[in-house]
Amino acid sequence: MATQENDRGDADSGRIRITDAVWQGLEAVRQSGQTNMLDRPSVARIASKFGFYETADWIENNRSKYSQGIFKGFEIENDARDR
């Protein structure tokens, strides 16, 4: 069964949809253990420090979605080329 996207841009599961590039940056920060993932400004700073600029920009421009994703989970968007 396909999931339906709601007006917030997330799937019915409540997970927040992000690109693979954003996911890679979040995962790199998480695995580094350098900060608590609830510390949004530090996560963005560390992502940038690691060279994950798209992740840092996404966090800064999607603060509410980032917080929702921390508690509800993230879902990697399908690349349009995969369709």
Q: What is the pLDDT of residues 48-59, one digit of tens each?
A: 999 999 999 999
DSSP 18-56: E-HHHHHHHHHHHHHTSS-TT-HHHHHHHHHHTT-HHHH
| Residue 33 binned pLDDT confidence (cut-offs 50, 70, 90) | very high
| Residue 12 binned pLDDT confidence (cut-offs 50, 70, 90) | low
Mean pLDDT of 54-82: 90
Termini Cα distance of the chain: 16
pLDDT at residue 80 above 80?
Answer: no
Its pTM stands at 0.79
**What's the confidence (pLDDT) of residue 83?**
38
Here the tokens at position 25 are 């940056």
Here the tokens at position 3 are 């999931």
